[in-house]
Amino acid sequence: MMLTLLLLVRCASADWAVVTGASSGIGEQLALQAAQRGYDVVLHGRRRRALHRLKKAIEAQTGRSTKMVVEDLSLPRGARRLHEACKGLDVRLLFVNAGVARVQPFIGDDAVDKMLALNVRASTDLCRRFGRDMAEAGGGRVVLTSSLVGVPAHGCAGAAAYAASKAYLRSFGNALHDELKSQKVSVTTVLPGAVDTAFARAADMERSLVFSVPGGRALGVVSAPDAVARAAHRAAARKRREIVPGLANKAYALCAEACPNILGRVVAKATFAPAPRGLAPRSSAAFIAAPARSTAPRRPPSRSVPGRAVGYGLLGVVGGLSVANALQDGSKPPLATAPPYASKADFYAAWRASIAPEASTLPGSVWDGELLFLGALAPAGSIVTHRLFPVKGAERKWLGKRFDQRGDVGTNRFRRSDDDEALGRDFSWSISTSRRDGEEALVLNYAAAPTPDRLFGTVLRMRDELRELEPGVLLGIGSMAATGGMRNGAPFILRRRSGGDDASSEDAVEADEDVLVDDAAD
């Protein structure tokens, strides 16, 4: 009886964590791991659909409560309205993570004021408001997301204002750590390096050398967002002043403190300037590319052996630290919200946590498909999809789907040759109730097509149900009523190739300047 009473009291007075910029990347992982550690979570961002997807994932997989706040913190009243939305919650953990990068010449950047409003003013205001609440409540933890570009004292050419804003957060966080220590409020500053997130893609950093170096991810030069989030949570729990995730990044930070002018120039070119042609990614999705072989005649070796030896020595030290970084920290993976999936159960969990796409984004779109080889029936699913499903005249390879520009119909794409494709196996589509969990999904009904296929439509009654994992990515379950329906479905992924209106499912749902949206609005 006493144990039950204690549990009820604990649930009634649960500690809350507030995570700004939780729509994707590091912020998403900070929120997921905060829920894993027993916190209820306030999810802040500007993209309501992304936050809603994260909210469902947290509640389904951890059982923790969540609250959504859609707000633009770069607005003058943004931080105040986020703080007001948290009134009545016992906030004991604050992640000031929202930020934006402007990578272009300073004198030609007309949006630098908005960046500084978010990175500097809003971060400072949030620390003041929530820090005061924590001090009055008897303690708490604040975590600021800065960056390694803010370490060199001479700044970072090519991103002068952005690097200065991150240097401010580092200086501010370190001073605040000492100032609030006596009031039992710890302040930790996180200094991540290159991180594989949508933030880097939005800032056009993927073309840079640091993202293109062969083996960059495996060696820790490019960090995964879940690894950075784990390091931030550990540092906050230990009340650390400052943390640099990854041994390679630690080595850089030490060198940058010793010779800031040189390292500042190096990191500016490696992070913000395009990589050499041989190392540049071939597409926006490629991070690692093999260096091109030069056909020019070799030059005789340089006689400046000491200088070259020093360079190779430093490269060897950084390489050794990078290898050690790749071998350390084999802790448990994050919650299954993004591919690749280790099992069919992981895929279904991510599918349930996703939401139906906006119908207006589908007409005219073309999607590349990938059949996932998961589950005991994966071989049978592969045979059906790639051998039996393709139309006559096509190679035995399913490529994806195409939605017609007009109406609610679509078709499947199959490979005909290396540069040609065949279309067939039509379907009708609608946003309707899923037969798997009773919630909304994009349903492709082959039996209801204008000209249904005799085998897959009329006889087998084929049906696909899809949900949006993130803008441009759909998780699908293909099934046939004659073979067990949705309980015996084959998992696949669709990635938008072209067409359609993708804006309405992403940034077009930003909060209005005078509207605060929480979980009740969804």
For the chain, the C-alpha Rg in angstroms (whole number) is 25
What was the pLDDT predicted at 381? 75
In a domain, 517, yes or no: no
**Do 270 and 374 belong to one domain?**
no
CATH number at residue 211: 3.40.50.720
In a domain, 520, yes or no: no
H or E segment at 135? helix 123-137
What was the pLDDT predicted at 254? 79
- What is the pTM assigned to this prediction? 0.58
What was the pLDDT predicted at 120? 95
The answer to whether 470 and 334 are in contact (CB under 8 A) is no
**Do 38 and 180 belong to one domain?**
yes
In a domain, 293, yes or no: no
CATH number at residue 495: 2.40.128
The answer to whether 31 and 49 are in contact (CB under 8 A) is no
CA dihedral over 175, 154, 264, 169, signed as positive or negative? positive
Query: Which of 162, 252, 348, 446 is the catalytic position?
Result: 162
**Do 487 and 402 belong to one domain?**
yes
In a domain, 258, yes or no: yes
Listed residues 254, 282, 310: the one ending a domain? 282
> What does the pLDDT look like over 360-409, one tens digit per residue?
899 999 999 998 887 776 777 778 887 888 888 777 789 999 999 878 99
Determine the structural domain holding residue 467 and report its residue range: 344-508
All residues at 6 or more sequence positions from 422 whose CB lies less than 8 Å from its CB, including other chains: 390, 391, 393, 394, 413, 414, 415, 416
What was the pLDDT predicted at 265? 57
The pLDDT averaged over each successive group of 10 residues in the chain (522 residues) is 42 79 90 94 91 90 92 92 94 93 73 90 95 94 91 76 91 94 94 72 52 52 84 94 86 72 55 46 36 43 50 55 43 46 82 88 92 77 80 81 90 84 92 87 92 88 91 89 69 89 42 36 36
Burial (CB < 10 A; 0-12, 13-18, 19+), residue 183, is middle
3-state DSSP percent of the chain in helix, strand and coil, to 5: 40, 20, 35
Tell me phi and psi for residue 75, to 5 degrees: -75, 150
Q: Annotated catalytic, 348?
A: no
**Do 241 and 370 belong to one domain?**
no
In a domain, 516, yes or no: no
Listed residues 258, 282, 306: the one ending a domain? 282
**Do 449 and 363 belong to one domain?**
yes
* C-alpha distances out from residue 353 to 332, 361, 441, Å: 20, 20, 11
In the DSSP assignment, the letter for residue 208 is B
In a domain, 292, yes or no: no
Each residue of 465-486: b (16+ CB within 10 Å) or e?
A: bbbbbbbbbbbbbbbbeeeeeb
**Do 233 and 139 belong to one domain?**
yes
Total domains present in the chain: 2
**Do 172 and 259 belong to one domain?**
yes
In a domain, 6, yes or no: no
* HEC sequence for 376-431: CCHHHHHHHHHHHCCCCCCCCCEEEEEECCCCCEEEEEEEEECCEEEEEEEEEEEE
**Do 277 and 375 belong to one domain?**
no
In a domain, 108, yes or no: yes
Listed residues 233, 251, 282: the one ending a domain? 282
**Do 265 and 390 belong to one domain?**
no
What was the pLDDT predicted at 487? 61
What was the pLDDT predicted at 431? 92
**Do 26 and 118 belong to one domain?**
yes
> What does the pLDDT look like over 302-344, one tens digit per residue?
444 455 555 556 556 545 544 444 444 333 333 444 567 778 8
**Do 36 and 168 belong to one domain?**
yes
Got the DSSP string for 45-113?
ES-HHHHHHHHHHHHHHH---EEEEE--TTSTTHHHHHHHHTTTS-EEEEEE-------S-GGG-TTHH
**Do 496 and 350 belong to one domain?**
yes
In whole angstroms, give the CA distance from residue 83 to residue 363: 40
Q: Give the full edge-to-edge strand order of the sheet including 66-70.
A: 66-70, 40-45, 16-19, 91-96, 140-145, 185-190, 242-243
